[in-house]
């Protein structure tokens, strides 16, 4: 199968164009460094390959080095039929620097080239028109104006690249620049002739940035946005969570009443609805978190947040670019660790990767939500806009961030002698403010819920079954005399200083596979013990059992810090190239988490 390769600079709408051409919903974000791997999809009879965004054929980062290396390989390959270079119509000069370099590289290897002039709707909004016929003549390549967001010109573009891929010899570049200086001169000249004036594009952006990037107001606004982000996870998701819990409770009661008493009824009630059902209640929170982060990404605010955070983060030995992996880590640590590749300094990149596991990822959400529902009253403030449970959520996230910064300081001091002799200056392109495209955003939200269930569901199911079997036999549901109780009482002395009994100890141990397993494991254990009472109300069962405030807060602090995720350990090992670093963090964070939990249980 022949390939069509798609290249372009970051923030040019390339990923959204790739989604529209292939039907795949890849992640679309409005800050540099989100695309760190090659992605491919089917386009007619061809394979469309999306290359990481880069500004020039001269690499400035590991990501760009990878993209350029793969681009050269693709140019040498007979499998490459066509090169599609995506241009940002609102920032033509910056796009053309890379575009002209790609054109000249394609000329050297006799590859056909087509330019997509993306975001043409933004240009039209300013009352400007770009003469694509004359631009095509001056570039020596076909240029097609389109908008991947509003779909303007997309159908015509699909037909054009289909034809170009079938007859690449008709789309070979007819012009080539002499050297690098002429590339810069040509891009500047073409931008002046055809593109928007910079002051028109930047006028509105600068007005907003004057407020959001203000030394005082910008910091205050950043704090408010982050607070509302974490507050919304609990507040907005509560009605959805209540609906899911009610539906599961009704289903559990119906199934239980429809089946005769016995082992099958007990298994479905305790293992399935008690274990897996307890976990499903918290999926809406994952989707709300994805929605809020998606809004920040697609609107262009995240790049500003990285700029705001650069100076304060530099005090902790980090870079402004560390903010993006840190925020991504609140969804999942694995892609966040991989996103840290965009940090140019090897030392800051390593510190960032080592502290990302302290960000409260979505797998912790079920644990936090369960324990907050047990321990914290649902007190409302400001007419229900804020509540005490949501504030507690924010505090837990804040503790994780503060711990990460303190650990960063320690790691910075420990590696003082390894400081980079010449760190590159912090450079970040600020994309234009844009309204998020609702369709990819909502698809991303739904996909996050599906992927969370798909990733964690099978693990929780088998762990729930395993725990149910050990907890049900040999006395047919007598938990205290079960095999699981024997194992639990053996490990109980480890968790007793934390104010926790053997049931919590078992749940903590099995949750190393995935943190969210903790909820499913407790759901199964309390389901067996509850014997049909309060089928889907795990929080009510724990409250009735008498979990103390100190032990509960200690348990939350334990999960804030502990590296309870085998997949994250494996990712750290792969990205750092060191098993000692990965397992050292697992042990170190585990001991720190235990000490914090012990202090809470002892003094609260």
Query: 539 vs 550, which has greater pLDDT?
Result: 550
**Does residue 219 carry a pLDDT above 70?**
yes
What is the reported pLDDT for 418? Answer: 55
Cα(first)–Cα(last) distance of the chain, in Å?
65
What is the reported pLDDT for 154? Answer: 93
65's torsion region: left (phi>0), alpha (psi -120 to 50) or beta?
alpha
What is the reported pLDDT for 161? Answer: 93
DSSP 27: -
What is the reported pLDDT for 542? Answer: 86
Give 143's pLDDT tier (boundaries 50, 70, 90): very high
Going by their DSSP bridges, the two strands 386-387 and 112-118 should be labelled as unpaired
In this structure, what token pair is assigned to residue 550? 């100190």
**Nearest C-alpha neighbor of 404 from the set 465, 336, 484:** 336
Query: 81 vs 256, which has greater pLDDT?
Result: 81
Kindly state the average pLDDT of the residues 561-571.
85
What is the reported pLDDT for 34? Answer: 44
Query: 585 vs 267, which has greater pLDDT?
Result: 585
What does the alpha-carbon distance between residue 311 and residue 106 come to, in Å, rounded to a whole number? 41
Kindly state the average pLDDT of the residues 251-261.
84
Kindly state the average pLDDT of the residues 374-397.
84
Give 10's pLDDT tier (boundaries 50, 70, 90): confident
User: Considering only 244-253, 337-346, 348-357, 491-500, which range has the smallest mean pLDDT?
Assistant: 337-346
What does the alpha-carbon distance between residue 27 and residue 192 come to, in Å, rounded to a whole number? 33
**Nearest C-alpha neighbor of 21 from the set 65, 107, 86, 80:** 86
Kindly state the average pLDDT of the residues 350-362.
91
Give 421's pLDDT tier (boundaries 50, 70, 90): very low
**Does residue 599 carry a pLDDT above 90?**
yes
What does the alpha-carbon distance between residue 193 and residue 162 come to, in Å, rounded to a whole number? 30
Beta strands in 316-466 (DSSP E): 380-381, 386-387
Query: 132 vs 474, which has greater pLDDT?
Result: 132
In this structure, what token pair is assigned to residue 263? 């082992």
What is the reported pLDDT for 94? Answer: 85
433's torsion region: left (phi>0), alpha (psi -120 to 50) or beta?
beta
What is the reported pLDDT for 60? Answer: 64
Query: 470 vs 505, which has greater pLDDT?
Result: 505
Kindly state the average pLDDT of the residues 585-603.
94
- Domains of the chain with bracketed CATH: 3-196 (3.40.50.300)
Angle between helix 283-299 and 238-258 (nearest 10): 150
| pTM, to two decimals | 0.68
For the chain, the average pLDDT equals 82
Kindly state the average pLDDT of the residues 328-351.
79
Give 201's pLDDT tier (boundaries 50, 70, 90): low
What does the alpha-carbon distance between residue 408 and residue 456 come to, in Å, rounded to a whole number? 30
Read off the pLDDT of residues 159-198 as tens digits, 9 standing for 90 and up.
999 999 999 899 998 888 777 778 889 999 998 898 877 6
Query: 225 vs 104, which has greater pLDDT?
Result: 104
């Amino acid at each position: 199968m022949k390939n069509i390769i798609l290249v372009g600079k970051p923030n040019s709408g390339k990923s959204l164009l790739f989604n529209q051409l292939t039907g795949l919903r890849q992640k679309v974000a409005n800050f540099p460094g989100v695309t760190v791997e090659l992605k491919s999809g089917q386009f007619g009879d061809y394979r469309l390959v999306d290359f990481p965004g880069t500004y020039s054929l001269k690499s400035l980062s590991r990501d760009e080095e990878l993209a350029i290396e793969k681009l050269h390989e693709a140019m040498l390959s007979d499998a490459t039929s066509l090169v599609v270079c995506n241009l940002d119509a609102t920032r033509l000069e910056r796009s053309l620097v890379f575009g002209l370099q790609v054109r000249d590289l394609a000329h050297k290897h006799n590859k056909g080239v087509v330019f997509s002039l993306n975001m043409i709707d933004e240009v039209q909004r300013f009352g400007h028109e770009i003469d694509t016929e004359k631009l095509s003549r001056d570039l020596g390549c076909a240029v097609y104006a389109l908008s991947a967001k509003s779909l303007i010109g997309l159908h015509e573009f699909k037909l054009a690249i289909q034809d170009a891929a079938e007859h690449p010899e008709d789309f070979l570049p007819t012009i080539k620049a002499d050297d690098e200086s002429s590339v810069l001169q040509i891009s500047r000249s073409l931008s002046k002739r055809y593109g928007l004036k910079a002051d028109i594009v930047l006028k509105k952006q600068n007005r907003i940035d004057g407020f959001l990037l203000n030394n005082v107001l910008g910091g205050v606004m950043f704090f408010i946005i982050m607070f509302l982000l974490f507050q919304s996870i609990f507040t907005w998701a509560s009605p959805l969570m209540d609906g899911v819990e009610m539906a599961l409770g009704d289903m559990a009661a119906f199934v239980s009443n429809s089946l005769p008493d016995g082992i099958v009824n007990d298994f479905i009630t305790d293992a399935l609805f008690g274990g897996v059902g307890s976990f499903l209640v918290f999926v809406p929170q994952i989707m709300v978190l994805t929605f809020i982060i998606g809004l920040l990404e697609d609107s262009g605010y995240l790049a500003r947040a990285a700029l705001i955070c650069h100076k304060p983060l530099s005090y902790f030995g980090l870079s402004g670019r560390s903010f993006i992996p840190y925020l991504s880590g609140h969804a999942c640590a694995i892609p966040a660790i991989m996103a840290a590749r965009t940090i140019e300094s090897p030392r800051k990149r390593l510190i960032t990767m080592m502290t990302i596991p302290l960000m409260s990822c979505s797998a912790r959400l079920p644990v936090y939500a369960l324990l907050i529902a047990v321990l914290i009253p649902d007190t409302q403030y400001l007419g229900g806009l804020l509540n005490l449970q949501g504030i507690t959520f924010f505090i837990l996230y804040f503790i994780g961030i503060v711990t990460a910064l303190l650990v960063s300081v320690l790691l910075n001091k420990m590696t003082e002698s390894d400081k980079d002799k010449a760190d590159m200056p912090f450079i970040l392109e600020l994309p234009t403010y844009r309204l998020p495209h609702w369709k990819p955003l909502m698809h991303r939200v739904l996909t996050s819920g599906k992927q969370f269930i798909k990733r964690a569901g099978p693990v929780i199911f088998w762990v729930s079954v395993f725990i149910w079997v050990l907890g049900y036999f040999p006395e047919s549901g007598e938990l205290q005399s079960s095999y699981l109780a024997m194992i639990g009482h053996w490990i109980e002395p480890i968790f007793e200083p934390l104010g926790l009994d053997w049931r919590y100890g078992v749940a903590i141990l099995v949750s190393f596979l995935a943190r969210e397993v903790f909820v499913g494991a407790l759901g199964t254990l309390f389901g067996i013990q509850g014997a049909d009472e309060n089928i889907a109300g795990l929080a009510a069962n724990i409250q009735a059992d008498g979990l103390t405030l100190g032990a509960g807060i200690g348990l939350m602090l334990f999960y804030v810090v502990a590296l309870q995720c085998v997949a994250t350990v494996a990712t750290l090992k792969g990205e750092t190239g060191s098993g000692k670093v990965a397992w050292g963090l697992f042990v170190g964070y585990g001991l720190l988490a235990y000490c914090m939990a012990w202090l809470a249980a002892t003094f609260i």
